[in-house]
Structure 1
Amino acid sequence: MKTPPCALLAEVRAFRQNHPDVRYVDLIALDIPGHFYGKRYPVEMLEKVAAGSPLKLPQNAVLLGVQGGLFKIGDYCFNDGDPDANRRLVPGTLKPVSWESQPLGQMLITSDGTDAPIEFEPREVLARVLQRLQHKGIHPMVAFELEFYLFDKKLADGLPQFPRDPLSDDADDQPNLHIERLSRFGAVLDDMAQTARDQGIDSTVITAELGPGQFEINFSHSDDALRAADWAALFCRSTRGVALKHGYRASFMAKPYLQFPGSGMHVHISLYDGAGNNLLAAHQQQPLRHAVAGCLQLLPHCMPIFAPNHNALRRLGGTVNAATRASWGFEDRDACVRIPESDPRNLRIEHRLASADANPYLVLAAILAGLEHGLETRQEPIAPLNDDRSSGTDFPVEMLDAVRAMQHHRVVRDTLGAEFVDVYCENKRQDHLAFQQEIHAREYRWFL
């Protein structure tokens, strides 16, 4: 995992040469709720870090709640002295930022690969899962797909407004899949795609989705699963910035409209051995069935990861292609786990349950843990939806129920790390309690 200082130093110096107007670089990492935190470094100080100087940030920055506050979680935050923890630069992620008013750069940082990784840091959780799979001779190939909505830049009494059609200046309030919407919003979408490529993200297909102002952008398959998750995280940041530059607001909120489809994070995963053979396709695809069974068994116990907030839970069921039970099927978008039609070389699963605002590192770690569990236990899955439309197992749709189902599940604790599971579940529990500490207008309408 470690990159020689000379290579990092060469990357920083090449960046300075190619972008002489950039004076500061944002060093950023994803916290537990999926928000970026970090520091803005003078670029000359970045050279010192690349050469081997220590890079330290507060360990507890990873534990921030949805609103940015700290919760008491065990001895963390208030009984540990708020210690610093080492971070390292992620090579290949130093890129220019084009959506800010001043020239900037940004670069990912992480604790994985350091002498004392933070056990509950999302990227470290995924890194541990991948390291374990590598020791077993399993090499994932991963691609993310992310849905998002465009809104008008200004909110109306705190509520989102439909984006304005740049040709007619009318509200784009009609749900449709028309290709013309890609043309009407072409300027902002093209800028999003190009900015993603400038960040090193290999983005591919752009689709107009069913909801008004809703779109999806796909990424190429990558044999570097950490980098695939990096792409998903960085894409969310750049897309929001580009939208604001064009007079829109982009959001990966899971369910912004009750009457329209929510936004999901779809993850495609193939598994290969060291010789490049697709493990899922061997023995008449029997490992595929085992992997699916493991995924479905762990799914109800990973719901706080796949649906990390109250709004994400609203997305489940009630609209098109949103599962209400843990299910699978061939070429079936109503299933949580879909098996797209493909040749044996590219046989894969598509995990469709996670919301677009979920943490991509944790989503991928949870899916891979399920696949690993299935390959080891070799159980048969329930019937696919193609054979039985009622097939499926229930999963919790209330946050506290979901947290309880996750926290004490032995396999989840063993595969994702007991310390991480305890910290994550308490973070979600505290977020739930904080969410309840406000009386909304509807309560006054109903009960006053």
Structure 2
Amino acid sequence: MKSHSSTLLAEVRTFRQNHPDVRYVDLIALDIPGHFYGKRYPVEMLEKVAAGGPLKLPQNAVLLGVQGGLYKIGDYCFNDGDPDANRRLVPGTLKPVTWEKQPLGQMLITSDGTEAPIEFEPREVLAKVLERLQHKGIHPVVAFELEFYLFDKKLDNGLPQFARDPLSDDLDDQPNLHIERLSRFSDVLDDMAHTAKDQGIDITVITAELGPGQFEINFGHMDDGLRAADWAALFCRSTRGVALKHGYRASFMAKPYLQYPGSGMHVHVSLYDAAGNNLLAAHQQQPLRHAVAGCLELLPHCMPIFSPNHNAFRRLGGTVNAATRASWGFEDRDACVRIPESDPRNLRIEHRLASADANPYLVLAAILAGLEHGLEAKREPIAPLNEDRASGTDFPLEMLDAVRAMQHQPVVRDKLGGEFVDVYCENKRQDHLAFQQEIAAREYRWFL
């Protein structure tokens, strides 16, 4: 414990030496809908926390709905006295915030690893899955890919406008994959990449995607699943901040335009033993087939995680590379679970179903739970799309159906935790009901 505190204290003191103009540090964590919450600490107080001082925030902050309100979930929020819960600093995440007007720092906090972790905290859910896999001698290596849209900074009656091409000042309304789009938007994209690297995130490939103003940025493969999910979460925060600085809005909204492709969160996962052998490649890739079968079996029961809001369900089907059924295939981007071509050492799955605004901790936890279940059950998967284009199993395409499919599934409850599943499902149910409590202009046009 002393060694841990001394390491954190050294990190804080080094940060203060390197950034003497920073007076405050945002201590942040991701809630259930995937938004950051936290507190802004004077940097001198951060030293006291790093040295072992208490760090407490309301436990129920994790339960916030997508609009920030609290829902009554069991005895939480309104019958529990709104208690505080201990958090800890995540080592290695204290970094400067360069997109704000005033010098600022930020650092991740979490309840995992504390004396009483919050069972429904997303990072804690993933930490438990990773710990269980480690005890079984399974070591995941993970890489996220995130798609997002750039919009003009100004909205038009609340609606997004196409980003303007910096060269011509025209609207970037021609969807394509042309490399020139990376050059035209290079100022903001380069700043996003540099800022992410300043946060310790390993940025690799940048792609101009099919939608107008749509891009994808890939991260390096990481043998620490928690840190890989940290990267995805922090990237979303920094990217939105950098975009505003350049006069744009960056959004990871799943389906901002009905006529253009949605934005996804693709996750590459390979599994190794302690000696570094790829477990999926053993025995003529039979474990790969079992792992795929497990993923596909649990996928319909994890849809509230992969599509966490009403808009995310709009992304599924009808557009390029967005599946409507649980499927798999070799080098097939129409599949939910794609097997990229690779040598045995790097054999992996690419899980392509989650929307870009999904919670990265929970997405990875659900994927790993599916892989783990498949390796245990040792079942054969359905035919790959390469053999049968009609292959696939149905999954819910509406939130309330998805919640019902998730809440009482025994394997999901066992792998992700029954308390988390109950809390998460009720959170999603309440968000969905709250979303319905507004009459849109379309309703008046249709029925008035």
Give TM-score, length-normalised by structure 2. Answer: 1.00
Say which SS state the counterpart of residue 8 (structure 2) adopts: helix
Give the whole-Å Cα distance in 2 for the aligned partners of 1:53 and 1:155. 44
Query: Which stretches in structure 2 are left out of the alignment for 5+ residues?
Result: none
Q: CA deviation at 1:390?
A: 0.1
Q: CA deviation at 1:27?
A: 0.1
Say which SS state the counterpart of residue 291 (structure 1) adopts: helix
Q: CA deviation at 1:23?
A: 0.1
Q: CA deviation at 1:160?
A: 0.2
CA-to-partner distance for each residue in 1:100-134, whole Å, 9 max, x for gaps? 01000000000000000000000000000000000
Q: Structure 2 vs 1, CA of residues 403 and 3 (structure 1 numbering), >3 Å: closer, same or farther? A: farther
Give the whole-Å Cα distance in 1 for the aligned partners of 2:246 and 2:3. 37
Say which SS state the counterpart of residue 350 (structure 2) adopts: strand
Q: CA deviation at 1:367?
A: 0.2
Aligned to 2:215: 215
Q: CA deviation at 1:2?
A: 9.8
Give the whole-Å Cα distance in 1 for the aligned partners of 2:184 and 2:3. 44
C-alpha contact 1:24 1:41 (8 A) present in aligned 2? yes
Give the whole-Å Cα distance in 1 for the aligned partners of 2:433 and 2:209. 34
Aligned to 2:9: 9
Give the whole-Å Cα distance in 2 for the aligned partners of 1:191 and 1:433. 39
Give the whole-Å Cα distance in 1 for the aligned partners of 2:206 and 2:188. 12
CA-to-partner distance for each residue in 1:5-34, whole Å, 9 max, x for gaps? 000000000000000000000000000000
C-alpha contact 1:2 1:113 (8 A) present in aligned 2? no
CA-to-partner distance for each residue in 1:177-221, whole Å, 9 max, x for gaps? 000000000000000000000000001100000000000000000
Aligned to 2:337: 337
Q: CA deviation at 1:170?
A: 0.2
Aligned to 1:262: 262
Aligned to 2:444: 444
Q: CA deviation at 1:43?
A: 0.1
C-alpha contact 1:338 1:352 (8 A) present in aligned 2? yes
Matches within 5 A, 1:60-139: 60-139=60-139
Say which SS state the counterpart of residue 47 (structure 1) adopts: helix
Q: Structure 2 vs 1, CA of residues 2 and 397 (structure 1 numbering), >3 Å: closer, same or farther? A: farther
Q: CA deviation at 1:264?
A: 0.1
Give the whole-Å Cα distance in 2 for the aligned partners of 1:341 and 1:265. 20
Aligned to 2:173: 173
CA-to-partner distance for each residue in 1:140-166, whole Å, 9 max, x for gaps? 000000000000000000000000101
CA-to-partner distance for each residue in 1:263-316, whole Å, 9 max, x for gaps? 000000000000000000000000000000000000000000000000000000
Aligned to 1:59: 59
Give the whole-Å Cα distance in 1 for the aligned partners of 2:223 and 2:3. 18
Give the whole-Å Cα distance in 2 for the aligned partners of 1:216 and 1:437. 34
Q: CA deviation at 1:356?
A: 0.1
Q: CA deviation at 1:77?
A: 0.1
Q: Structure 2 vs 1, CA of residues 81 and 417 (structure 1 numbering), >3 Å: closer, same or farther? A: same
Give TM-score, length-normalised by structure 1. Answer: 1.00
Matches within 5 A, 1:4-403: 4-403=4-403
CA-to-partner distance for each residue in 1:326-371, whole Å, 9 max, x for gaps? 0000000000000000000000000000000000000000000000
Say which SS state the counterpart of residue 147 (structure 1) adopts: strand
Give the whole-Å Cα distance in 2 for the aligned partners of 1:31 and 1:265. 18
C-alpha contact 1:129 1:365 (8 A) present in aligned 2? yes
CA-to-partner distance for each residue in 1:68-91, whole Å, 9 max, x for gaps? 000000000000000000000000
Q: Structure 2 vs 1, CA of residues 3 and 330 (structure 1 numbering), >3 Å: closer, same or farther? A: farther
Give the whole-Å Cα distance in 2 for the aligned partners of 1:360 and 1:123. 9
Q: CA deviation at 1:49?
A: 0.1
Q: CA deviation at 1:4?
A: 0.9
Q: CA deviation at 1:379?
A: 0.1
Say which SS state the counterpart of residue 16 (structure 2) adopts: helix
Give the whole-Å Cα distance in 1 for the aligned partners of 2:210 and 2:177. 5
Q: Structure 2 vs 1, CA of residues 36 and 390 (structure 1 numbering), >3 Å: closer, same or farther? A: same
Give the whole-Å Cα distance in 2 for the aligned partners of 1:2 and 1:294. 42
Say which SS state the counterpart of residue 41 (structure 1) adopts: strand
Percent identical among aligned pairs is 90
C-alpha contact 1:3 1:91 (8 A) present in aligned 2? no
Give the whole-Å Cα distance in 2 for the aligned partners of 1:435 and 1:275. 49
C-alpha contact 1:141 1:222 (8 A) present in aligned 2? yes
Q: Structure 2 vs 1, CA of residues 379 and 67 (structure 1 numbering), >3 Å: closer, same or farther? A: same
Q: Structure 2 vs 1, CA of residues 175 and 92 (structure 1 numbering), >3 Å: closer, same or farther? A: same
Query: Which stretches in structure 1 are left out of the alignment for 5+ residues?
Result: none
CA-to-partner distance for each residue in 1:216-265, whole Å, 9 max, x for gaps? 00000000010000000000000000000000000000000000000000
C-alpha contact 1:141 1:223 (8 A) present in aligned 2? yes
Say which SS state the counterpart of residue 357 (structure 2) adopts: coil
Give the whole-Å Cα distance in 1 for the aligned partners of 2:428 and 2:104. 33
Q: CA deviation at 1:3?
A: 6.5
Q: Structure 2 vs 1, CA of residues 51 and 364 (structure 1 numbering), >3 Å: closer, same or farther? A: same
Q: CA deviation at 1:391?
A: 0.1
Runs of 4+ in 1 over 4 A off after TM superposition: none
Q: CA deviation at 1:137?
A: 0.2
